Structure 1
Amino acid sequence: MKSVKSILLGTIASLAFATACSSSQTDTETAQTTEEAKSSEFRFMDPSLSPKERALDLVSHMTLEEKAAQMYDKAAAIPRLGLHEYNWWNEALHGVARAGHATVFPQAIGMAATWDEDLMLEVANVISDEGRAKHHFYANEDVYAMYGGLTFWSPNINIFRDPRWGRGQETYGEDPYLTGRMAVNFINGLQGDDDKYFKSVATVKHYAVHSGPEPSRHRDNYIATDADLYETYLPAFKTAFDETEVASVMCAYNAVWGDPACGSERLMKDLLREELGFDGYVVSDCGAIGDFYYDEEKKAEGTAPYAAHDHVDTRAQAAALSVNMGTDLNCGDGEGNKMDALPQAVKEGLITEETIDQSVVRLYSALFKLGMYDDPSLVPWSNISIDTVASPSHLEKSEEAARASLVLLKNDGILPLKPDTKVAVIGPNADNWWTLVANYYGQPTAPVTALKGIKAKIGAENVSYSVGSTIAGDIYSNYKAVPSNTLFHKNEAGELVPGVKAAYYEDKFLSGEPSIETVEENIDHYWLRTPTTDGLNDEFGAIWSGVIVPEETGSYRFQPSRWSTLEINGKEVTDTDDIEMKAGESYEFTQSLKFDSGWPRDQLDKYAYLNWTDVSRDYKAEALAAAEDAEVILFFGGIDANLEGEEMGVELDGFLGGDRTHINLPAPQEKLLKELHATGKPVVLVNFSGSAMALNWEDENLPAIVQAFYPGEKSGTAIADLLWGEFSPSGRLPVTFYKSLEGMPAFDDYSMENRTYKYYEGEQLYPFGHGLSYTSFEYSDLKLETAYAANENLQVSVKVTNSGDKASREIVQAYVTRDTLANVSTPRVELAAFDAIELAPKESQTVTLSIKPDAIGYFNENGKLTFPEDGSFTLSIGGGQPGFDAPYTSVSVDYSN
Structure 2
Amino acid sequence: MKLTHAIVSAALLAMTAPAVSAQMLPYQNPALSSTERAEDLCSRLTLEEKVKLMMNSSPAIERLGIPAFDWWSEALHGVGRNGLATVFPSCIGMAASFDDDLIEEVFTAVSDEARAKNTLARKQGNVGKYKCLSFWTPNINVFRDPRWGRGQETYGEDPYMNGRMGLRVVRGLQGDGSDKYWKLHACAKHYAVHSGPEKTRHQFDINTLPARELWETYLPAFKMLVQEGKVQQVMCAYQRFEGAPCCGSDRLLNSILRYKWGFDGLVVSDCGAIGDFYREGRHEVSKDAAAASALGVLSGTDVECGSVYKRLPQAVSRGDIKESDIDVSVKRLLKGRFELGDFDPDSLVSWTSIPLSVVNSKAHRDLARKMGREQMVLLKNNGLLPLSPKSGKIMVMGPNAADSTMQWGIYYGQPGHTVTILEALRERLGQDLPYVRGCAVTQMTDRESVFGSMTSSKGRGMEATYWNNTRMEGTPAAETVYTSAIQLDNGGNTVFAPGVNLTNFTTRIKGTLVADRDETLNMIYNNDDGLRIIINGDTVHNRWKTDPLGFRERELPVKKGQKYDIEVDYMQLEDDATLNFDIMRTRQVTAADAVAQAKDADVVIFAGGISPAYEREEAKVREPGFDDGDRTSIELPAPQREILKALHEAGKKIVLVNCSGSAVALTPENETCDAILQAWYPGEQGGYAVTDVLFGDYNPSGKLPVTFYRDDSQLPAFDDYLMAGRTYRYMRQAPLYPFGYGLSYTTFDISKPKYKNGKVTVSVKNTGKVSGTEIVQVYMRRPSDTAGPNKTLRGYTRVDLAPGQSKTVEIDFPRELFENWDEAAQEMRVVPGEYELMVGSSSDAKDLKTIKVKI
TM-score normalised by structure 1 residue count: 0.86
| d(CA) in 1 for partners of 2:448, 2:300 | 46
- How far apart are 1:552 and its partner, in Å? 9.5
| d(CA) in 1 for partners of 2:42, 2:727 | 47
Task: Map 1:39-78; keep pairs closer than 5 Å.
Answer: 41-78=24-61
Q: Letter of the aligned partner of 2:553 in structure 1?
A: D
Q: In the alignment, which of 586, 593, 614 is matched to residue 563 of structure 2?
A: 586
RMSD, aligned α-carbons? 3.2
Q: Structure 1 residues 873, 6: CA separation in 2 closer, same or farther (over 3 Å shift)?
A: closer
Query: For each residue in 1:331-357, what CA deviation from the matched residue of structure 2 results, as whole angstroms up to 9, or x when unmatched?
Result: 12xxxx211111111111111112211
Q: In the alignment, which of 141, 158, 171 is matched to residue 188 of structure 1?
A: 171
Q: What residue is the counterpart of 1:249 in the other structure? A: 234
Task: Map 1:619-634; keep pairs closer than 5 Å.
Answer: 620=591, 623-634=594-605
| d(CA) in 2 for partners of 1:92, 1:5 | 23
Q: Letter of the aligned partner of 1:215 in structure 2?
A: K
Indicate conservation of the 8 Å contact 2:6/2:122, yes or no: no
- How far apart are 1:443 and its partner, in Å? 1.0
- How far apart are 1:867 and its partner, in Å? 5.8
Q: Secondary structure at the match of 1:343?
A: helix
Q: In the alignment, which of 291, 295, 316 is matched to residue 321 of structure 1?
A: 295
- Confirm or deny that 1:816 pairs with 2:780: yes
Q: Letter of the aligned partner of 2:724 in structure 1?
A: E
Task: Map 1:117-128; keep pairs closer than 5 Å.
Answer: 117-128=100-111
Q: What residue is the counterpart of 1:286 in the other structure? A: 271
Q: What residue is the counterpart of 2:849 in the other structure? A: 889
- How far apart are 1:629 and its partner, in Å? 2.1
Q: What residue is the counterpart of 2:117 in the other structure? A: 134
Q: What residue is the counterpart of 1:204 in the other structure? A: 188
Q: In the alignment, which of 93, 96, 113 is matched to residue 96 of structure 2?
A: 113
Q: Secondary structure at the match of 1:637?
A: strand
- How far apart are 1:652 and its partner, in Å? 1.9
Indicate conservation of the 8 Å contact 2:192/2:219, yes or no: yes
- How far apart are 1:608 and its partner, in Å? 3.4
Q: Structure 1 residues 712, 147: CA separation in 2 closer, same or farther (over 3 Å shift)?
A: same
- How far apart are 1:360 and its partner, in Å? 1.4
Indicate conservation of the 8 Å contact 1:147/1:604, yes or no: no
| d(CA) in 2 for partners of 1:129, 1:751 | 40
Q: What residue is the counterpart of 2:544 in the other structure? A: none
Q: Secondary structure at the match of 1:636?
A: strand
Q: What residue is the counterpart of 1:26 in the other structure? A: none
- Confirm or deny that 1:801 pairs with 2:765: yes
| d(CA) in 2 for partners of 1:128, 1:769 | 29
Q: What residue is the counterpart of 1:878 in the other structure? A: 840
Q: In the alignment, which of 465, 474, 485 is matched to residue 435 of structure 2?
A: 465
- How far apart are 1:200 and its partner, in Å? 0.9
- How far apart are 1:419 and its partner, in Å? 3.5
- Confirm or deny that 1:577 pairs with 2:541: no
Q: Letter of the aligned partner of 2:524 in structure 1?
A: Q
Q: What residue is the counterpart of 2:245 in the other structure? A: 260
Task: Map 1:549-568; keep pairs closer than 5 Å.
Answer: 549=514, 555-561=520-526, 566-568=533-535
Indicate conservation of the 8 Å contact 2:444/2:639, yes or no: no
| d(CA) in 2 for partners of 1:408, 1:558 | 37
More displaced 10-residue stretch of structure 1: 323-332 or 52-61: 52-61
- Confirm or deny that 1:725 pairs with 2:710: no
Indicate conservation of the 8 Å contact 2:635/2:712, yes or no: no
Q: Structure 1 residues 761, 135: CA separation in 2 closer, same or farther (over 3 Å shift)?
A: same
- How far apart are 1:238 and its partner, in Å? 0.7
Q: In the alignment, which of 725, 738, 742 is matched to residue 709 of structure 2?
A: 738
- How far apart are 1:864 and its partner, in Å? 1.0
Task: Map 1:390-539; keep pairs closer than 5 Å.
Answer: 390-419=360-389, 421=391, 422-461=393-432, 463-473=433-443, 483=451, 485-489=452-456, 498-500=462-464, 521=481, 523-526=486-489
Indicate conservation of the 8 Å contact 2:465/2:507, yes or no: no
Q: Letter of the aligned partner of 1:90 in structure 2?
A: S
Q: Structure 1 residues 274, 3: CA separation in 2 closer, same or farther (over 3 Å shift)?
A: closer
- How far apart are 1:498 and its partner, in Å? 4.6
| d(CA) in 2 for partners of 1:829, 1:736 | 14
| d(CA) in 2 for partners of 1:613, 1:671 | 24
- How far apart are 1:7 and its partner, in Å? 2.7
Q: Letter of the aligned partner of 2:622 in structure 1?
A: E
- Confirm or deny that 1:847 pairs with 2:809: yes
Q: What residue is the counterpart of 1:145 in the other structure? A: 128
Q: What residue is the counterpart of 1:856 in the other structure? A: 818
Q: What residue is the counterpart of 2:220 in the other structure? A: 235
| d(CA) in 2 for partners of 1:892, 1:586 | 79
| d(CA) in 2 for partners of 1:51, 1:550 | 67
| d(CA) in 2 for partners of 1:616, 1:497 | 23
Q: Secondary structure at the match of 1:180?
A: helix
| d(CA) in 2 for partners of 1:496, 1:779 | 64
| d(CA) in 2 for partners of 1:198, 1:537 | 32
Indicate conservation of the 8 Å contact 2:777/2:842, yes or no: yes
Q: Structure 1 residues 48, 347: CA separation in 2 closer, same or farther (over 3 Å shift)?
A: same
Task: Map 1:331-370; keep pairs closer than 5 Å.
Answer: 331-332=305-306, 337-370=307-340
Q: Secondary structure at the match of 1:6?
A: helix
Q: Structure 1 residues 145, 375: CA separation in 2 closer, same or farther (over 3 Å shift)?
A: same
Q: In the alignment, which of 680, 688, 698 is matched to residue 709 of structure 1?
A: 680
Indicate conservation of the 8 Å contact 1:145/1:537, yes or no: no
Q: Structure 1 residues 134, 581: CA separation in 2 closer, same or farther (over 3 Å shift)?
A: farther
Indicate conservation of the 8 Å contact 2:379/2:743, yes or no: yes
Q: Structure 1 residues 3, 54: CA separation in 2 closer, same or farther (over 3 Å shift)?
A: closer
Query: For each residue in 1:632-661, what CA deviation from the matched residue of structure 2 results, as whole angstroms up to 9, or x when unmatched?
Result: 111111011001000011112100000000
| d(CA) in 1 for partners of 2:276, 2:475 | 43
Q: Structure 1 residues 604, 74: CA separation in 2 closer, same or farther (over 3 Å shift)?
A: farther
| d(CA) in 2 for partners of 1:849, 1:616 | 56
Query: For each residue in 1:588-609, what CA deviation from the matched residue of structure 2 results, as whole angstroms up to 9, or x when unmatched?
Result: 224567999xxxxxx7565333
| d(CA) in 2 for partners of 1:381, 1:9 | 15
Q: What residue is the counterpart of 1:103 in the other structure? A: 86
| d(CA) in 2 for partners of 1:179, 1:69 | 34
- How far apart are 1:556 and its partner, in Å? 2.3
Q: Secondary structure at the match of 1:217?
A: coil
Q: Percent identity?
A: 41
Indicate conservation of the 8 Å contact 1:9/1:40, yes or no: no
Q: In the alignment, which of 668, 672, 696 is matched to residue 667 of structure 2?
A: 696
Q: What residue is the counterpart of 1:174 in the other structure? A: 157
- How far apart are 1:765 and its partner, in Å? 0.4
Q: Letter of the aligned partner of 1:839 in structure 2?
A: L
Query: For each residue in 1:759-809, what CA deviation from the matched residue of structure 2 results, as whole angstroms up to 9, or x when unmatched?
Result: 011220000000001111111252214xxxxxxx84211111112221112
| d(CA) in 2 for partners of 1:92, 1:608 | 23
- How far apart are 1:672 and its partner, in Å? 1.0
- How far apart are 1:80 and its partner, in Å? 1.0
Q: Secondary structure at the match of 1:269?
A: helix
Q: Structure 1 residues 774, 616: CA separation in 2 closer, same or farther (over 3 Å shift)?
A: same
Report the number of matched residues: 828
- Confirm or deny that 1:7 pairs with 2:17: no
Q: What residue is the counterpart of 1:652 in the other structure? A: 623
More displaced 10-residue stretch of structure 1: 627-636 or 762-771: 627-636
Q: Letter of the aligned partner of 1:834 in structure 2?
A: Y
Unmatched 5+ stretches in structure 2: 542-551
| d(CA) in 1 for partners of 2:554, 2:639 | 19
- How far apart are 1:863 and its partner, in Å? 4.4
Q: What residue is the counterpart of 2:547 in the other structure? A: none
Q: Structure 1 residues 71, 506: CA separation in 2 closer, same or farther (over 3 Å shift)?
A: farther
Q: Structure 1 residues 684, 188: CA separation in 2 closer, same or farther (over 3 Å shift)?
A: same
